[in-house]
Amino acid sequence: MDTIDWNVFLSPIVLSLKVSLASSLLVLALGGLSAWGMSRRSFRGKTLLETLLLLPLVLPPTVVGFILLVMLGKKSWIGYVMDSLFHQSVVFTWGAAVIASVVVSFPLVYQTMKTGFASISADLQDAARSMGAGEWQVFRMVTLPLAWRSAVAAYILGFARGLGEFGATLMIAGNIPGKTQTLPTAIYVAVESGNHALAWWWTGAIVMISFLMLFAVSNRR
């Protein structure tokens, strides 16, 4: 390890953990609320909407990244507003990496939370409503506590998926060392440049982190 710069080694690890932490919290909220809403309502076009929500699960990450690049680039209205208000582009920032991670991990979180909500007896929720609880109170005091195991699993899966995201992140955030270079992109560059020793160290780091996250899911009960 004496031939490897510690700052160079730690930088993508720290950034990857930062991106994964932010994206996993955000996607847990978005995926959980979406799953709760979809599990409570039946409406025309529900199947179509749910298919769209799950689409990132089967699309190539580069396709997801390209779509995000078009949607958030300077020529888009979102990019124009961001540039006008904050003089800052969305793309090629660590925030763009967070967005990419949220999009690709959303289907996993959504499906996990939906399964958790479906396992809760409707009688318990109806009993809370009969005692005067509103829908938000039912969700906060009955549904969510009963689905906490699914919420933990969804969070960990979202974190692990965001940690391993490569294609969409590379498309929208780029590979700027110290700024947007995450572990997967750092490994790719290290292999391309022939620095296999550094690639192996980074690979070991991401394998260890991912293993611990999946191990936590397996033992959540």
Give the residue-averaged pLDDT of 94-114: 94
Task: Give the Cα separation of 50 and 204 in Å (integer).
Answer: 36
8 Å CB contact between 217 and 156: yes
Single out the residue of 53, 136, 152 nearest to residue 102, CA to CA.
53
Tell whether the model's pLDDT for residue 220 goes beyond 60: no
Domain total in the chain: 1
Angle at 67 between CA 62 and CA 72, to 5 degrees: 120
Within a domain: 175:
yes
CATH number of the domain to which 72 belongs: 1.10.3720.10
Task: Give the Cα separation of 5 and 26 in Å (integer).
Answer: 33
pLDDT for position 109: 95
Give the pLDDT band of residue 2 (cuts 50, 70, 90).
Answer: very low
Q: Please give the mean pLDDT across all residues of the chain.
A: 88
Residue 159 identity = F
8 Å CB contact between 30 and 106: yes
Tell whether the model's pLDDT for residue 26 goes beyond 70: yes
DSSP code at position 219? T
Task: Give the Cα separation of 185 and 73 in Å (integer).
Answer: 21
Q: How far is CA 72 from the centre of its chain?
A: 18
For 62-79, write each residue's pLDDT tens digit: 999 999 999 988 888 887
Give the residue-averaged pLDDT of 89-117: 92
Task: Give the Cα separation of 129 and 217 in Å (integer).
Answer: 32
Within a domain: 1:
no
pLDDT for position 178: 87
For 27-49, write each residue's pLDDT tens digit: 999 999 999 888 877 888 889 99
Within 13 A of 107's CA, how many CA atoms are on the CB side?
Answer: 14
Q: Tell me which residue range forms the domain holding 193.
A: 6-218
pTM of the predicted model, to two decimals? 0.88
Task: Give the Cα separation of 188 and 80 in Å (integer).
Answer: 32
Give the pLDDT band of residue 216 (cuts 50, 70, 90).
Answer: confident
